[in-house]
């Protein structure tokens, strides 16, 4: 018989609770839940176009979900994924003119590196505020989100704006700086490979490395970490840098692999979804891509539902909210029963 | 004939493959004080948990005042007049005593502090207890916090009070005061179940002694007809026949293996000069403390809990900086870099007094906990963790220290406190430390394990370790220490060689008399 550990049971129960609520809401919107479900699953996961689209959307969710999982493991709540993602993309775009003339095999990794660095810097600012001055990282990262949004908004109307100067957006990336498309006729880029590699790297970090052990210990008992010689402040700073780095990488992968240029709101809301992804994956790096793919499929399917039925698109936001909420509730409930 | 307050019949509880309690039957009459004795892991805590609604029994019945009850939650137990004082207190530090008692019982609206304070005084006076209702709980010492827990339990109507290891953290005077409270409650007709390791408690205040061994009740007899040897034998071997008493390694009459004369030419490992330490709340814990510990010497730090022992050990372990004066350990100086990492690398081992806060991570496995203290040594690898080696070390520790567990992958939080402590000890002594800071290393352990721990410390000393032994137990100090320094009321007495002093002198110092 398959025996599940407590965390897995919680994850499954969260999904089940979510599905039930969803069916109820669809019925409220005056549609047949079965028909909506068929469209959701059919268009989200079962058609070639839907599947490709779901994979496209799952790339940034995987990268940011990994970052959130890392920081949450250390008990550090990085809510600033959106800002880190934007700054990563912006820094990489600022470097693009210098990298353009280089051969693609060299320029593309450097571009991704620039994005990673940008995200790490933005996460690191929150990290310094926390480690040095004891600032609450939740507040710090949320506030840094607003600063990042305004900064990018200014950049694409100023220094980074396309030469035509009409639309608030950057110039298109040179072809040598674009991530290649993996399958003809889809928008699926090599960003998928980047995300897969990141999964393996983060898994190794968490499960095999000393640093991963320090993260887990700090997250579970900061006093014991101090007793063992680990400095929680150093862990908080470094994990915010790492988490930001993954978000920044997600940002430039979105630009280089999908949009080709920086524009406003190109990755809105990813930060919140990333939290839902990380929680659903129980903060385990190998489950993050699975959870990310699930959410991506929901998004694609919800697009189709909005087109074909009376159920509006924000339904998918309800799903996200329900998952996070169901998790929080179910994390507490079994503790009362587990005796 | 009176109706028993509590009657347990054939109570059983299993956790997985382990039988914690096997068909236990026990009766408590009104106004009776019953001691529940047993080694670590004998099942005492499980019995308490079942009586207090924390755990549901797998089989058997619980009768209260003659009626069968099902205690599904702690609330059920409270509502039926069962009060508990747990070993680990659940108090809010910045509440006053009166507010603490109102917690969870006061209705909505404004708290009437005058009424509350009067209530507290009334309950306290009933059992002859001194208590300021306006005192902040966080400002009380351990004994004071325990009194708050007792008041909390008594502020409801209780017919049964369960005391879980009540004397474990108390000084002898505070324990005596606790026993006065117990006697007052007994006179009031309250039945008391006292879970304990200490035989002294049994003979001081209990009417009956019930001994558990490996989940079974092996004897239940009036204290008047019990002997110390008989109870020890029952606890250790589950046998009530004194003739079969095995050799007891943990008795205080075991003499040190060699005369307690420190080698005066051995290198000084720990040096403390004019040390001043403040508590977290800013009050002064230690002032003007000075001593050296040489290699191959055990220095006992005696004193009633809360006289700065925790602060001193945490300072020497690198967790805090001195607030005045200086400390030096193995060439590390407190005015230079002074961190746990640095000191651990220099060979300092630290057995913390607050195990659950500092010593273990409950959710993680035994082997993961094993790595905690050796994180910055190359023992388990520099970049990649050598988990296999950690598991091997853990397996060896499980054998060597007789840790009751399903294996190195079990979460340490599932183990009983004594078994957790054994793992902490095994971990700290793993790498052959040069300095051992041992804060109450045998607190909460059973007699057999205490003996083993004391043997280990002696062996470490003979191998050349400098040991600071924090203890409130004079027997332990007599059994182990070469020299002793006493902390009392912010001042330090000694150090003095054990040969040049006696227990009366140390006792007087602990009470603050020069």
Ordered alpha helix ranges (H), chain A = 6-28, 33-41, 48-73, 81-99, 104-133, 137-155, 191-207, 210-220, 222-227, 232-254, 270-280, 288-308, 315-337
What are the backbone angles phi and psi of residue A63, rounded to the nearest 5°? -60, -45
Which residues in chain A are closer than 8 Å to B350, comparing Cβ atoms? 227
Confidence (pLDDT) at B383: 84
CB pair distance less than 8 Å for A213 and B319: no
pLDDT single digits (tens) B44-60:
888 998 998 888 899 88
Nearest residue, CB atoms, A220 vs list B340, B363, B376: B363
Contacts of B352 in chain A (CB under 8 A): 227
Hey, are the CB atoms on B384 and A209 less than 8 Å from each other? Answer: yes
Calpha distance B459→B457 (Å, rounded): 5
Would the pLDDT of A295 be above 80? yes
* 3-state secondary structure (DSSP) of residue B318: coil
A30-60 per-position pLDDT tens digit:
778 888 888 878 877 788 888 898 999 999 9
At residue B398, does pLDDT exceed 80? yes
For residue B252, is pLDDT > 50?
Answer: no
Distance between CA atoms of residues B449 and B320, nearest Å: 31
Nearest CA in chain A to B58: A339
Which residues partner with B333 through β-bridges? B328
What is the distance between the alpha carbons of residues B351 and B359, in angstroms, rounded to a whole number? 7
Q: Which of B317, B373, B385 sits opposite A210 (nearest CB)?
A: B385
Q: Which pLDDT value is given to residue A209?
A: 92
Q: Which of B319, B381, B384 sits opposite A227 (nearest CB)?
A: B319
Using CB atoms, pick whichever of B341, B361, B375 lies closest to residue A210: B375
Give me the pLDDT at residue B266, please.
79
Distance of CA B388 to the CA centre of its chain: 32
pLDDT tens column, A119-129 = 999 999 999 99
Contacts of A73 in chain B (CB under 8 A): none
Chain length of chain A: 339
Helices (H) and strands (E) counted in chain B, each on its own, are 16, 20
Of A210, A220, A226, nearest to B361 by CB-CB distance is A220
- Range of lowest pLDDT (B99-113, B233-247, B362-376): B233-247
Residue A91 contacts residue A114 (beta carbons within 8 Å): yes
The answer to whether B358 contacts A217, with C-beta atoms less than 8 Å apart, is no
Tell if the CB–CB gap between A227 and B361 is shorter than 8 Å.
no
B342, two tokens: 């640095």
Sequence length of chain B is 514
Instruction: Tell me the chain B residues in contact with residue A209 when contact means C-beta distances shorter than 8 Å.
Output: 383-385
Neighbours of A265 (CB within 10 A): 10
Is the model's pLDDT at B470 over the cut of 80?
Answer: yes
pLDDT at A332: 61
User: pLDDT at residue B171 above 50?
Assistant: yes
Give the contacts of B485 (CB within 8 A, at least 6 positions apart). Answer: B289, B291, B299, B300, B301, B302, B492, B493, B494, B495, B496
Residues 6+ apart with CB under 8 A from B235: B37, B38, B39, B42, B211, B213, B446, B447
Tokens 């809010």 locate to B92
Contacting residues of B for A227, CB less than 8 Å apart: 317, 319, 340, 350, 352, 358-359, 372-373
Order of strands across the sheet that contains B435-439: B348-351, B435-439, B466-471, B297-302, B483-488, B491-497
**With 70 as the cut, is the pLDDT of residue B281 above it?**
no
The answer on pLDDT for B108 being more than 90 is no
Phi-psi region of B43 (alpha: psi -120 to 50; beta: other; left: phi over 0): left
Tens digit of each residue's pLDDT (9 = 90 or more) over B422-431: 899 899 988 8
- Whether the pLDDT of residue B179 is over 50: the answer is yes
pLDDT tens, B184-203? Answer: 889 988 999 998 867 778 88
Identify from B372, B387, B391 which residue to disrupt to test chain A contact, counting A C-beta atoms within 10 A and taking the largest count: B372
Of B7, B53, B2, B8, nearest in space to B31 by CA: B2
Nearest residue on chain B to A207, alpha-carbon basis: B385
Q: Please report residues of B whose CB lies closer than 8 A to that of A208.
A: 384-385
Q: Is a pLDDT exceeding 70 seen at residue B242?
A: no
pLDDT band at B405 (very low <50, low <70, confident <90, very high): confident
**pLDDT tops 80 at residue B4:** yes
CA angle (B408 as vertex; B403, B411 as ends), nearest 5? 90
Would you say B448 and B250 are in contact if contact means Cβ atoms under 8 Å apart?
yes
Q: What is the structure's pLDDT at A175?
A: 86
| DSSP per-residue codes, B162-205 | EEESTTTT--HHHHHHHHHHHHHHHHTT-EEEEEES-HHHHHHH
Q: What is the pLDDT of residue A18?
A: 76
Residue B305: its pLDDT value, please? 66
Q: Which two tokens stand for residue B186?
A: 């007994």
Structure tokens at B99: 């507010």
Q: How far is B170 from chain A (nearest CA, A)?
A: 25
Q: Indicate yes or no: CB of A228 within 8 angstroms of CB of B359.
A: no
Is B339 in contact with A229 (Cβ distance < 8 A)? Answer: yes
- The mean pLDDT of B134-156, rounded to a whole number, is 82
**For residue B415, how many other CB atoms are within 10 A of its CB?**
23
pLDDT digits (tens, 9 = 90+) for B197-233: 677 788 888 999 998 888 888 888 898 888 877 787 7
Residue B98 or residue A81, greater confidence: A81
Q: Are B85 and B196 in contact (CB under 8 A)?
A: no
Find the mean pLDDT for residues A232-238.
Answer: 94
Q: In this prediction, what percent of chain B has a pLDDT beyond 70?
A: 88
Distances (CA, A) of A315 to A19, A62, A270, B192: 12, 21, 16, 58
Q: Which residues in A have their CB inside 8 Å of a CB on B? A: 208-210, 212-214, 216-217, 220-221, 223-224, 226-231, 339
Average pLDDT, chain A: 87
Residue closest to B429 by CA, chosen among B405, B453, B399: B453
Give the tens place of pLDDT for each residue, A19-32. Answer: 787 788 878 877 78
Question: What's the pLDDT tens digit per position in A170-217?
Answer: 888 888 889 888 888 888 999 999 999 999 999 999 999 999 999 999
Phi and psi dihedrals of B115, rounded to 5? Answer: -65, -45
Give me chain B's average pLDDT, please: 82
Interface with chain B: mutation pick from A208, A227, A282, highest number of B CBs within 10 Å: A227
The full DSSP string for A87-110 is: HHHHHHHHHHHHHTTS-HHHHHHH
Q: Could you give the CA distance from residue B448 to residue B320 in angstroms, rounded to a whole number?
A: 34
User: Tokens 């840790």 label which residue?
Assistant: B403
- Chain B residues with CB-CB distance to A220 below 8 A: 361-364
Q: Among A15-19, B355-359, B482-486, where is mean pLDDT lowest?
A: A15-19
pLDDT over 90 percentage in chain B? 9
Residues of B in contact with A223 (CB under 8 A): 357-358
Q: Do B383 and A210 touch (CB under 8 A)?
A: yes
- The C-alpha atoms of residue B404 and residue B398 are separated, in whole angstroms, by 7
Cα–Cα nearest to A122, from A158, A73, A86, A165: A86
Q: Enumerate the residues of chain A whose CB falls inside 8 A of the CB of residue B357.
A: 221, 223-224
């Amino acid at each position: 018989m398959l025996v599940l550990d407590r965390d897995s049971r919680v994850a499954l129960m969260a999904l089940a609770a979510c599905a039930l609520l969803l069916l109820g809401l669809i019925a409220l919107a005056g549609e047949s839940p079965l028909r909506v479900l068929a469209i959701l699953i059919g268009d989200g996961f079962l058609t070639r176009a839907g599947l490709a689209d779901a994979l496209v959307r799952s790339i940034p969710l995987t990268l940011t979900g990994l970052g959130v999982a890392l920081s949450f493991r250390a008990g550090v709540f990085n809510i600033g994924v959106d800002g880190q993602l934007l700054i990563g993309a912006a820094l990489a775009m600022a470097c693009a003119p210098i990298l353009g003339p280089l051969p693609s095999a060299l320029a593309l990794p450097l571009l991704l590196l620039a994005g990673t660095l940008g995200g790490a810097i933005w996460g690191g600012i929150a990290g310094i505020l926390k480690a040095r001055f004891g600032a609450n990282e939740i507040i710090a990262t949320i506030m840094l989100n607003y600063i990042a949004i305004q900064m990018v908004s200014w950049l694409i109307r100023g220094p980074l704006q396309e030469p035509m100067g009409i639309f608030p957006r950057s110039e298109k990336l040179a072809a040598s700086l674009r991530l290649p498309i993996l399958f003809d006729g889809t928008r699926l880029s090599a960003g998928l490979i980047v995300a897969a590699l990141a999964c393996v790297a983060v898994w190794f970090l968490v499960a095999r490395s000393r640093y991963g052990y320090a993260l887990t210990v700090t997250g579970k008992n900061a006093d014991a970490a101090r007793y063992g010689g680990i400095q929680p402040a150093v862990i908080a700073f470094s994990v915010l840098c790492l988490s930001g780095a993954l978000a920044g990488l997600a940002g430039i992968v979105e630009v280089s692999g999908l949009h080709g240029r920086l524009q406003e709101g190109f990755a809105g809301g990813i930060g919140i979804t990333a939290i839902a992804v990380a929680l659903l994956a129980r903060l385990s790096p190998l489950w993050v891509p699975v959870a990310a793919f699930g959410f991506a499929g929901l998004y694609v399917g919800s697009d189709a539902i909005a087109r074909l039925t009376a159920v509006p698109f924000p339904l998918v936001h309800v799903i996200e909210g329900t998952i996070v909420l169901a998790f929080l509730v179910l994390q507490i409930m079994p503790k009362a029963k587990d005796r | 004939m009176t109706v028993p307050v509590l009657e347990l019949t054939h109570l059983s509880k299993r956790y997985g493959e382990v039988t914690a309690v096997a068909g236990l039957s026990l009766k408590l009459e009104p106004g009776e004080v019953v001691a529940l004795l047993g080694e670590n892991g004998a099942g005492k805590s499980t019995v308490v948990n079942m009586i207090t609604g924390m755990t549901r029994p797998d089989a058997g019945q619980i009768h209260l005042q003659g009626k069968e009850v099902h205690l599904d939650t702690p609330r059920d137990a409270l509502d039926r007049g069962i009060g508990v004082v747990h070993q680990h207190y659940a108090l809010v530090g910045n509440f006053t005593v009166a507010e603490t008692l109102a917690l969870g019982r006061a209705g909505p609206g404004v708290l009437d502090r005058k009424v509350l304070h009067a209530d507290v005084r009334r309950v306290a006076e009933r059992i002859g207890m001194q208590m300021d209702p306006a005192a902040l709980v966080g400002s009380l010492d351990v004994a004071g916090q325990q009194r708050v827990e007792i008041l909390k339990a008594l502020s409801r109507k209780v017919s049964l009070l369960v005391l879980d290891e009540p004397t474990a953290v108390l000084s002898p005077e505070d324990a005596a005061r606790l026993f006065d409270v117990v006697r007052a409650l007994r006179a009031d007709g309250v039945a008391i179940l006292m879970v304990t390791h200490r035989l002294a408690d049994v003979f001081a205040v209990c009417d009956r002694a019930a001994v558990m061994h490996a989940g079974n009740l092996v004897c239940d007899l009036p204290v008047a007809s019990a002997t110390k040897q008989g109870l020890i034998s029952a606890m250790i071997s589950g046998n009530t026949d004194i003739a079969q008493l095995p050799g007891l390694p943990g008795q205080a009459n075991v003499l040190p293996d060699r005369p307690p004369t420190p080698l005066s030419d051995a290198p000084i490992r720990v040096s403390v000069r004019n040390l001043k330490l403040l508590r977290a709340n800013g009050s002064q814990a230690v002032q003007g403390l000075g001593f050296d510990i040489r290699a191959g010497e055990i220095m006992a730090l005696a004193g009633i809990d809360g006289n700065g022992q925790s602060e001193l050990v945490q300072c020497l372990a690198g967790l805090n900086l001195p607030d005045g004066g200086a400390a030096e350990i193995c060439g590390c100086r407190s005015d230079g870099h002074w961190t746990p990492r640095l000191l651990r690398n220099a060979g300092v081992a630290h057995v913390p007094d607050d195990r659950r806060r500092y010593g273990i991570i409950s959710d993680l496995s035994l082997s993961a906990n094993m790595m905690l203290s050796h994180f910055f040594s190359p023992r388990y690898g520099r970049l990649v963790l050598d988990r296999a080696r950690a598991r091997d070390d853990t397996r060896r520790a499980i054998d060597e220290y007789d840790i009751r567990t399903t294996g190195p992958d079990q979460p340490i939080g599932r183990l009983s406190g004594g078994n957790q402590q054994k793992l902490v000890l095994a971990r700290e002594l793993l790498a052959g430390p040069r300095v051992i800071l041992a804060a109450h290393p045998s607190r909460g352990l059973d007699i057999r394990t205490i003996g083993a721990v004391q043997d280990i410390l002696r062996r470490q000393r003979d191998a050349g370790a400098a040991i600071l032994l924090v203890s409130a137990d004079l027997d332990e100090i007599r059994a182990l220490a070469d020299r002793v320094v006493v902390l009392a009321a912010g001042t330090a007495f000694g150090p003095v060689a054990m040969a040049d002093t006696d227990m009366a002198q140390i006792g007087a110092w602990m009470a603050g008399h020069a």
